[in-house]
Amino acid sequence: MRGEFACIDRGFWRIVWGLQFPGKVTNLLWRVSRGVLPTAVALLRKHVIISHVCSWCHEYNEDDLHILFDCCFAKKVWHVIGLLNIVQVNMNDTVIDVLKRASTIGTEDQWVMGALFCRSIWYRRNRWVWDKLNVSVFGIKSVALNLLTDWRRMMEENGGKKGGAYARYTVWCKPPEGWIKVNIDATCHQGSEFTGIGCVTRDDRGRFIRA
């Protein structure tokens, strides 16, 4: 199945890797393609006790196709940015089917916008589910356009070639001999008392020690 999956979507992923999206966008597309985006329907399949109904419209099952394209709020977003005709959903479509078709119907810029807005719509869904913060269509546009600006800057700096700004910013450098390196990241949720922190430790040969 893994080989079959890779063969069927090879052209799609060639486009994704060639465009060098920010990691958060590529990660979203990959999780959608593997069916592991934690929507309500996906969580129910994992025996998580949760309502299957969309938390926005309260009418339909919350799967990835609904949340990104079919929900009333998602349709409003696609209409406002002028891409509703590019991301039409047919019966039995998957999210990847919609995006693959959009890559042939629209221009490259429209397809890029589509992928970035998918990430922003998912971001809005999570802010509502976890923090009860209602991000408007304007807020969704702001998040997506900031991603677009970063993406275009990276492409300009790199001349459209692979290994650009995002690659340069995320290269891990090993510590001096005899030392270990601890990389730390953290996040704070606005409006709540929750803070998350994580770290990973590696030695001077890049070998994992502890996380």
DSSP assignments along 136-151, one per residue: -HHHHHHHHHHHHHHH
In a domain, 187, yes or no: yes
Whether 3 shows a pLDDT value over 70: the answer reads: no
pLDDT at site 16 = 84
Q: 61 and 91: one domain?
A: yes
Q: 135 and 159: one domain?
A: yes
Q: 133 and 194: one domain?
A: no
Rounded distance, CA 146 to CA 20, Å? 16
Whether 167 shows a pLDDT value over 90: the answer reads: no
In a domain, 36, yes or no: yes
Q: 91 and 123: one domain?
A: yes
User: What is the torsional sign of CA 74, 193, 27, 166?
Assistant: positive
Beta bridge partners of 196: 187
pLDDT at site 109 = 85
In a domain, 174, yes or no: no
In a domain, 137, yes or no: yes
Cα 118 to Cα 88, 114, 172: the distances in Å are 14, 6, 29
In a domain, 89, yes or no: yes
106 φ, ψ (degrees, to nearest 5): -95, 180
Can you give the pTM of this predicted structure? 0.69
Q: 164 and 189: one domain?
A: no
Sole residue written with tokens 């589910």: 129
In a domain, 59, yes or no: yes
A 10 A CB-CB count for 28 gives 24
How many domains are contained in the chain? 2
Q: 194 and 114: one domain?
A: no
Q: 190 and 99: one domain?
A: no
Q: What is the DSSP letter of 26?
A: H
The answer to whether the beta carbons of residues 63 and 42 sit under 8 Å apart is yes
Residue 202, domain extent: 180-210
In a domain, 190, yes or no: yes
In 3D, which of 84, 149, 136 has the Cα closest to residue 110?
A: 84
Beta bridge partners of 198: 185
Rounded distance, CA 22 to CA 15, Å? 14
In a domain, 175, yes or no: no
Beta bridge partners of 188: 195
Strands annotated E in 111-179: none
Element (H, E) at 95: helix 95-105
pLDDT (tens digit, 9 = 90+) per residue, 79-119? 999 999 999 999 999 998 998 899 888 888 888 889 999 99
